[in-house]
Amino acid sequence: MPSENHAQALQVLSYVDLTSLNNDDDKATIESLCTKVEIGSQSVAAICVFPEWVATAKTYFEEQSLNIPIATVTNFPDGSTNIERAVSETERAIAAGAREIDVVLPYRALLNGDESTPAELVRECKDVCGDEVILKVIIESGELKTQDAIVAASEIAIANGADFIKTSTGKVDTNATLSAAQTMLGVIKASGTDCGFKAAGGIRTVGEAMQYINLAEEIMGKDWVTPSHFRIGASSLLKDIQAVVDNH
């Protein structure tokens, strides 16, 4: 019988957006990432790479006959107020083969009292994505800091078409936290929409990932926590998953 730890590790793997967003990424880095999408018979939910590497990942998966969704980031990591830039980056990424877009909300604009620019940016990016491409909106919860700001950002993203709200870029001092996750999940529940949730940045062990899974199950119900609603953005978490599986 597989141990509970083994089962948890594979459960966590099923929610992972396996990520490499480093400025020195190259073709070899991305192809190496693509080789790690399966452990045993379980695969990750998606991989997430910079827009310029989407085509590389797509070619690799086609050659290996693997059906792994490719996610990318736009308006990243600064959360610019340049809506035209965010939309054109999103269009190009989809044309290259991205099936999931993680766009950064203009969170600084929101903190300065501008709600209309973040709302419009999400709305226009969702128009480009349509029903075929998943839009995850990164609210950068660690920079928003207060619960009120996290609630406001989450509500704006959901109201304007976000398919997921995501904690963080992983590029700031404070990334995913359980308290931010609790607030964001609460907003999703209150919205009554089909929006999902993604925790990203700093989740490195199966034990840490399980805390987010348990929290989501507590707030949204066990049946809700599937890869269609729940993701964990991670780069180093895979090492711990593999170690747990190997130990079993």
* Catalytic (active-site) positions: 102, 166, 198
Q: What is the CA radius of gyration of the chain?
A: 17
Q: Where are the alpha helices (DSSP H) in the chain?
A: 4-15, 27-34, 54-63, 83-96, 107-111, 116-129, 141-144, 147-159, 178-191, 206-220, 237-247
Among 174, 227, 173, residue whose Cα is nearest residue 12: 227
H/E/C letters for each residue in 155-193? HHHHHCCCCEEECCCCCCCCCCCHHHHHHHHHHHHHHCC
Q: What spatial distance separates the first Cα and last Cα of the chain, rounded to whole Å? A: 10
Q: For residue 200, what is the enclosing H or E element?
A: strand 196-200
Distance separating alpha carbons of residues 69 and 58, to the nearest angstrom: 9
